[in-house]
Amino acid sequence: MAMTSTFVENYETEQPILELARFMNLSQQKAAGHDADMGDSELYQECDQLLATQPIQLFHKMFEFVKNNLDLGEADLEGAFHCLFLLLRRLADGEATLAVTNIVTVLSADASRPTLRLRIMSNLYALLGETGAKASRYTVFMAMMKFASANSLAHMLSGQFDKLDAWVEEWGCTPGQVVDLYWEVTQALFAQGGQEAEATCLLHKVLKAAEAGDAATLSAVSEQAKLACVTAIKDPGTFKLDELLDFAAVQQLEASNPLVVALLRIFVHGKLADYTKFVAANGGLLGQLGLDAAECEVKMRLLTLASLANAHEEVPYSVVASDLGIATKGGEWMADIEGCVIQAIAAGLIEARLDQRRQVVIITRSTQRQFQDDDWKQLGYKLANWRDHVQRMLMVIESAAAREL
């Protein structure tokens, strides 16, 4: 059924609403086998009166018509929904909120012509910015995200993801709503591939948002907390994992998934020997979590080397070999050690040079795997000593300059 009337996209008047009334009349006449009449029919007059007196009743009448004619051409269907969207501005806040929910429910219920349906929801989202129902934008965007993800169209919304933090504040979202929205987007980012860093960052925001909610909100993100731990362990470029232990949701995993937290703690401050012992006792866990044992071992070797470098300015090859489980028999053990050091340097964990004659690794910088209260105090002492050293150097320079004058 093709729409022959014209929908005028004019946000300043309600005229397009009554254009839909004319089309509804035209459709009725065609269905009854009558000649098309675009005049102001009885139905049009009824709609005109309802627009002035009972806009919610007019919405129900028009919404029912549009819902039953979703097979219209693309331009016609967009025009029909445009009329409904304009009518939202005439409804009371509670009525408009319910109307928006009904609209997105109908649009999300069918996967046919998904790009068109997503575009119509996007039009609704845009128009809500012109009304007092901005809070309903959350409902619309959530529906868009779920629909887009289900139909492999999430990439069409990805340009908006950097606005989420500002939006949830503008919409006045509850912690539970923030969790749901961020989690929906997180899943879309992981599914797209190539955006693991962005997805991980948003996953952490999910856990942070849950902390602002009640106990039920916090307990509802246990799977997300587990995923955050596994993702951090699995990522070959992530070496700082201690911040995860600060999340309340991760702390709650101690009760529901203690082995996951135990494994995380090993990657936070443990050594290769701790990892090896853990795997021996819990052999099937890594596979269940989707972790590769060999890849995890490589990462633990680098982390163990970082801990050694943090504790010493010079580390003998023999100590490195002992902590990394490298047998010192045979002629290749020194090459193995040097290979691990080079890997750690490439990963940015340490800055060092190899003294092959003395068989030591000379450390110039190392990454602190975990910061605790004592570590902050030690850093404060180092900064104070550095400040005093700079001041003494300045005094020497000033004294030398004064003598020359």
Question: What would the pLDDT profile of 26-55 be if each residue is shown by its tens digit?
Answer: 776 666 666 555 556 788 888 889 999 999
pLDDT of residue 371: 58
Q: What is the pLDDT of residues 254-289, one digit of tens each?
A: 999 999 999 999 999 999 999 999 999 997 999 999
Of residues 130 and 63, more confidence is placed in: 63
Q: Measured between alpha carbons, how far apart are the two ends of the chain, in Å?
A: 98
Q: Give domain status of residue 181, yes or no.
A: no
Q: Indicate if the pLDDT at residue 81 is higher than 50.
A: yes
- Domain count for the chain, please give it: 2
Worst-scoring range by mean pLDDT, 81-95, 108-122, 312-326, 362-376? 362-376
Q: Give domain status of residue 243, yes or no.
A: no
Q: What is the pLDDT of residues 204-249, one digit of tens each?
A: 999 999 999 999 999 999 999 999 999 999 999 999 999 999 999 9
pLDDT of residue 1: 32
Q: Give domain status of residue 263, yes or no.
A: no
Name residues whose C-beta falls within 8 Å of residue 110's C-beta, 6 or more positions apart in sequence: 70, 117
Of residues 348 and 378, more confidence is placed in: 348
Average pLDDT, the chain: 87
Banded pLDDT at 393 (limits 50, 70, 90) = confident
Residue that terminates a domain, selected from 14, 46, 66: 66
Name residues whose C-beta falls within 8 Å of residue 255's C-beta, 6 or more positions apart in sequence: none
Banded pLDDT at 7 (limits 50, 70, 90) = very low
The separation between CA 159 and the C-alpha centre of its own chain, rounded to angstroms, equals 13
Banded pLDDT at 372 (limits 50, 70, 90) = low
What counts of helices (H) and strands (E) characterise the chain?
A: 20, 3
Question: Domain holding 330: CATH number?
Answer: 1.10.10.10
317 membership: H or E segment, kind and range: helix 317-323
CA-atom Rg of the chain in angstroms: 32
Q: Give domain status of residue 339, yes or no.
A: yes
Q: Give domain status of residue 135, yes or no.
A: no
Whether 169 contacts 211, CB under 8 Å: no
Q: In what order do the strands lie in the sheet with 360-366?
A: 314-316, 360-366, 350-355
Q: Give domain status of residue 236, yes or no.
A: no
Could you tell me how many residues make up the chain?
A: 405
Residue 310, by phi and psi: left (phi above 0), alpha (psi -120 to 50) or beta?
alpha
DSSP 8-class letter at 14: S
Name residues whose C-beta falls within 8 Å of residue 372's C-beta, 6 or more positions apart in sequence: none
Q: Give domain status of residue 383, yes or no.
A: yes
Residue that terminates a domain, selected from 66, 85, 100: 66
pLDDT of residue 332: 84
Residue that terminates a domain, selected from 66, 82, 105: 66
Domain boundaries, position 25? 1-66
pTM of structure:
0.82
Name residues whose C-beta falls within 8 Å of residue 167's C-beta, 6 or more positions apart in sequence: 137, 138, 141
How large a percentage of the chain has pLDDT more than 70?
A: 88
How large a percentage of the chain has pLDDT more than 90?
A: 66
pLDDT of residue 39: 54
pLDDT of residue 382: 61
Rounded CA separation 45/320 (Å): 89
β-bridge mates for residue 361, sequence order: 315, 354
Rounded CA separation 385/45 (Å): 86
Q: Give domain status of residue 334, yes or no.
A: yes
Helix axes 175-192, 164-171, angle to 10 degrees: 160
Q: Indicate if the pLDDT at residue 379 is higher than 60.
A: no
